[in-house]
Amino acid sequence: MNYTERLSNVTVLGAAGKMGSGILLLTALEMADLSLKPENKGKLFVINAIDVSSEALIGLMRYIRAQTLKAAEKKTVQLRLAYADRADLIDNDEIIRQYIEDVMVVIRPSVHLETAYSSTLIFEAIKEDPELKVKILSQIDRNNPLKPWYFTNTSSIPITQLDEKAKLGGRIIGFHFYNPPAVQKLVEVIKSNQTLPEVEEFALQYAKNLRKVVVPSNDFAGFIGNGHFMRDALHGIAEAKKLAKEVSLAEAIYMINRVSQEYLVRPMGIFQLIDYVGIDVCQYIMSVMNPYQPNEDLHSDLLDRMIALGVKGGQHSDGSQKDGFLKYDKGRVVGVYNPDSKAYVMIADFQPACDTRLGAQPASMKPWKSVVGAPLKENLLQTIFNEMKTMDNLGAELARKYAKRSKEIGLKLVADKVAFNDNDVNTVLLTGFYHAYGPINNYLD
């Protein structure tokens, strides 16, 4: 079965979710593009969009149509060539409408798992629950005579565990898209101990066709991305709790969030990033990873406390940020949650005192947006951190400690053979987390 045949009947599990919708979009576009090639004229392509909610699937189809319009508008020249044999398609609007129709006709929304029993390729993007994933993949495999291949989007569960427990015989690979899949360039590819060579070969070809940046990870719980992020988050939480012995917890969270964003030249502070992913999601990922880390305790009492209070972060259905550790107003951070009073404290009430306590940033400091695209970025970063090394205020001290810990985490991922090399760790943080620089660097040496 060649590449095109493998993509002739596909299923996306969890298709209406945050990750599944992006995977569905990218795969439907790839299938539609394949259908337009002369050698594939007349071939049937089907992608089953399976989810538990009919209402969510209706919203999914609206999303796919809107995103396909945007994709078509960006490649009208290629589409004009693809439809060159269609004399009835004259102007760009007609070509774009036809392409949207060709993409939408490929998609079959369904709430029935049985729909997957005729697919040759299954993308799994359901809840990050090992038992649920094994149950569903096993059910499909028992009832699908085609011996399908499985691409799991898990960000933390070892692929070998899924492979062995679901008895898939190496027909599975970790294909971890980053959020949102349609925008993020990074994909972590993780083989199980038995993953078949042809499955990996197909995965790399699919990633190449989607123009993704591929970073391989060894099959350790959390892989590279969450292996770094979860430990980075735990460091930030621990530093906030230490600081809370001198100031309120809300003030400490604000200060560590500011240091981890502005002083470290990152796109988000650590507590904002935890909110973005979801406090409950972070807690669950840690719980999945923790049993595989006998020499570490990947757990946070503060995350437990926030969830017990019903504060979870994450996103609304329209993509806007829900309140978590921080309160948001049109995307702007305006408050910090106080677990003691069970209410948000407005940042404006304590910001001046906290900023004074942190002290000045390096005079050469620039915001992340200015640094990430700077033509001489490395020189600029070195200048910033050289200056930071000479400063003795609290903000600089916390930033140096944070950067040192971030580097330690990265180096340990390589030493533990989770990552193959330093560059892979840096690529994940640069590409998947949009950092301006990789954690493994010599800026503060």
The yes-or-no verdict on residue 206 having pLDDT over 80 is yes
> For 176-188, what is the mean pLDDT?
95
Asked if 172 and 162 count as a contact pair (C-beta separation under 8 A), the reply is: yes
Q: Which residues contact residue 227 at a Cβ distance below 8 angstroms, ignoring those fewer than 6 apart?
A: 220, 289, 409, 413, 418, 419
> For 400-404, what is the mean pLDDT?
98
State how far the Cα of 26 lies from the Cα of 443, in Å rounded to an integer.
38
What's the confidence (pLDDT) of residue 387? 97
Q: What is the pTM of this model?
A: 0.94
pLDDT band at 317 (very low <50, low <70, confident <90, very high): confident
Which amino acid does the sequence have at 4? Answer: T
Question: Looking at the domain covering 225-432, what would its CATH class be?
Answer: mainly alpha
- Asked which of 314-323, 325-334, 379-388 is least confident by mean pLDDT, the reply is 314-323
Tell me which residue of 333, 300, 304 sits closest to 232, measured CA to CA: 300
Cα radius of gyration rounded to whole Å, the chain: 23
pLDDT band at 41 (very low <50, low <70, confident <90, very high): confident
Range(s) of the chain covered by CATH 1.10.1040.10: 225-432
| Per-residue H/E/C for the chain | CCHHHHCCEEEEECCCCHHHHHHHHHHHHHHHHHHCCHHHCCCCCEEEEECCCHHHHHHHHHHHHHHHHHHHHHCHHHHHHHCCCCCCCCCHHHHHHHHHHHHHCCEEEECCHHHHHHCCEEEECCCCCHHHHHHHHHHHHHHCCCCCEEEECCCCCCHHHHHHHHCCCCCEEEEEECCCCCCCCEEEEEECCCCCHHHHHHHHHHHHHCCCEEEEECCCCCCCHHHHHHHHHHHHHHHHHHHCCCCCHHHHHHHHHHHHHHHCCCCCCHHHHHHHHCHHHHHHHHHHHHHHCCCCCCCCHHHHHHHHCCCCCCECCCCCECCCCEEEECCEEEEEEECCCCEEEEHHHCHHHHHHHHCCCCCCCCCHHHHHCCCCHHHHHHHHHHHHHCCCCHHHHHHHHHHHHHHHHHHHHHHCCCCCCHHHHHHHHHHHCCCCCCCCCCCCC
Task: Give the sheet arrangement for strand 332-338, strand by strand.
Answer: 326-329, 332-338, 343-346
pLDDT band at 319 (very low <50, low <70, confident <90, very high): confident
What's the confidence (pLDDT) of residue 349? 95
Paired with 418 in beta bridges are: none
What's the CATH architecture for 3-217? Answer: 3-Layer(aba) Sandwich (3.40)
> For 55-70, what is the mean pLDDT?
96
Asked if 396 and 359 count as a contact pair (C-beta separation under 8 A), the reply is: yes
Range(s) of the chain covered by CATH 3.40.50.720: 3-217
> For 130-159, what is the mean pLDDT?
97
> For 169-197, what is the mean pLDDT?
96
Beta pairing, strands 326-329 & 332-338: antiparallel
What's the confidence (pLDDT) of residue 316? 84
What's the confidence (pLDDT) of residue 90? 85
What's the confidence (pLDDT) of residue 359? 97
Paired with 2 in beta bridges are: none
As a whole-number percent, the residues of the chain with pLDDT over 70 amount to 100
6-30, pLDDT tens digit by residue? 999 999 999 999 999 999 999 999 9
Residue corresponding to tokens 């989810």: 51
The yes-or-no verdict on residue 318 having pLDDT over 90 is no
The yes-or-no verdict on residue 56 having pLDDT over 80 is yes
